[in-house]
Chains A and B, each alone.
Chain A
């Protein structure tokens, strides 16, 4: 066909992009390299990766059993045998920190898989349908946003009773509204775009437009938001642990570790300093990673 000939050589500047190997995998590798080029986001990636390794290979990395008590070596200062010292029951702080990363990741993971879909669904629906659907959903998010999140989480845990799962639910309940707001704002700009109109003209149902067209475009900014959110989740989880409403002893949770270590803080600084440093480092890492992802995924910076 003659037309096809014409098309193939019609734009010289696009030749480079016409490489068929320019696939999803290649794109991912390229994006990852770009992410690592910035030293700040690269350090975020490294710390998050270390956290993942710690959680997966905890039994290999930990030097002691995190729950094993050794009353002969109570409150020992950091040494070669106990790198980060021991706590009031003689448990190894380093090993507890390593196992604590499992708890932290468990909370982050559960909260994110609850908050992401719920926020996306509520946000895109209220943005797409508008009218009374929008009014109802947005007033509900307004109510949730108008409470300080820790207070709200406290109230929920108090009502449900302390425990790790309840802490997760409480944190999820307090952190979905900003995600929904974001998804709604994105949807409002996408709703009238030509490709959505084209889909409607093809007879696509609202459900199809939401899932196949709009959600896909909301994902990048949502991922950035959720990554940033993980830092807050860690802090809230630690705060709940500190107040004794999160993970219950003897489970090694960083916030709870600080809480119990507080009584011995003046003589045994390592009980508070190391879990505190871990919390700070990890939440900082998620913030840096989020910043890097935003530079990468935000279409406005392209």
Chain B
């Protein structure tokens, strides 16, 4: 079943130097899967995620031939309807949890508030359920974390709390924008495992935006590689090592490897054609 269909999505920003075409003709279909959008800085990957939820700054122009979420046409939605979809049906996890959590409320209060709004339950029940949620994201001491403020918890803990909050309304899609880039390597894996477990349990589709090809190779089902605002390759994650596009291959090869150390790393020569050439499967 197609959860989300995007056809010919274009995003332009107005800057001092004129119009900037950040996303060009991006099309993809999200099924019940883990889809990765990968690219380097400036490739437009985050802009795609934001454009789906209309989170771009006001000076942005978003056009598409189709932006279909289930039975809803996202292009026809007014501001109020989009707000109802945001959070309820499509959630977003940002890179730094510190900016997404309310700094003057304890972590537990925020979770139980979200719960009581969503499930229409009493405060006591909400607290119980919130502690249950914290346990579910593998927090060892939920009682303690419940009463802490966002600045008192570590980055990994904060991202777990964010994940807990985002799955409460049981959305259909979670858009995760570099959720683990700010975390230490040993914590990254835990957070990803928790995310995988929860979305599989609750049958949620995931759009995972990242700069790290090697990370999504292990973690996602399908990968869209973006360059200069365009999708240059769409490929199954387990076939990434036989990617056809030179950009994808270049990204894979330029990473230093422990096992096969090369004195000089291969350097990518960028081709102007990548910006214009139509991608063929």
Contact = CB atoms under 8 A, between A and B. Distances in A.
Interface stretch (B81-89, B192-200, B216-224, B267-275): B267-275
Contacts of B270: 9-10, 12
A30 B16 contact: yes
Interface in B256-280: 267, 269-270, 275
Contact of A12 (B16, B17, B228, B267): B228
A13 B270 CA distance: 12
Contact of A6 (B17, B269, B275): B269
Given A12-B275, A13-B42, A6 B267 contact: yes
A16 to B, nearest CB: 5
A17 interface: yes
Interface in B3-42: 16-17, 42
Interface in A1-44: 6, 9-13, 16-17, 30, 34
B17 A17 contact: yes
Interface residues of A, number: 10
Contacts of A34: 16
Nearest to A3: B267
Contacts of A6: 267, 269
Contacts of B16: 30, 34
Specify the main secondary structure of chain B where it touches its partner. loop
A41 B275 CA distance: 41
B210 to A, nearest CB: 19
Contacts of B228: 12-13
Contacts of A11: 42
Contacts of A12: 228, 270, 275
A292 to B, nearest CB: 16
B196 to A, nearest CB: 33
A201 B113 CA distance: 51
A23 to B, nearest CB: 15
Contacts of A30: 16
B267 A16 contact: no
A30 B42 CA distance: 25
A16 B21 CA distance: 13
Given A6-B269, A10-B270, A16 B275 contact: no
A34 B228 CA distance: 28
A52 B269 CA distance: 56
Contacts of B269: 6, 9
A253 B152 CA distance: 60
Nearest to A34: B16
A16 B267 CA distance: 23
A13 B16 CA distance: 14
Contacts of A13: 42, 228
A16 B17 contact: yes
A13 B47 CA distance: 15
Contacts of B17: 16-17
B58 to A, nearest CB: 15
A107 B163 CA distance: 61
Interface centre among A10, A11, A13 (most CB of B within 10 A): A13
A201 B267 CA distance: 32
Which of A6, A10, A12, A17: most chain B Cβ within 10 A?
A: A12
B218 to A, nearest CB: 28
A9 B16 CA distance: 23
Nearest to B229: A13
Contacts of A10: 270
Nearest to B227: A12
Nearest to A11: B42
Interface string B157-185: 00000000000000000000000000000
A12 B232 CA distance: 15
Nearest to A14: B42
Contacts of B267: 6
Nearest to A19: B17
B223 to A, nearest CB: 22
A10 B17 CA distance: 20
Interface in A218-272: none
Interface in A133-154: none
A12 B267 CA distance: 16
A11 B268 CA distance: 12
Nearest to A16: B17
A16 B16 CA distance: 11
13 contacts: A6-B269, A9-B269, A9-B270, A11-B42, A12-B228, A12-B270, A12-B275, A13-B42, A13-B228, A16-B17, A17-B17, A30-B16, A34-B16
Interface of A: 6, 9-13, 16-17, 30, 34
User: Which 8 pairs of residues, A with B, have the shortest CB-CB distance?
Assistant: A13-B42, A16-B17, A9-B270, A6-B267, A12-B228, A12-B275, A10-B270, A12-B270
Given A9-B269, A12-B228, A34-B16, 11 more contacts: A6-B267, A6-B269, A9-B270, A11-B42, A12-B270, A12-B275, A13-B42, A13-B228, A16-B17, A17-B17, A30-B16
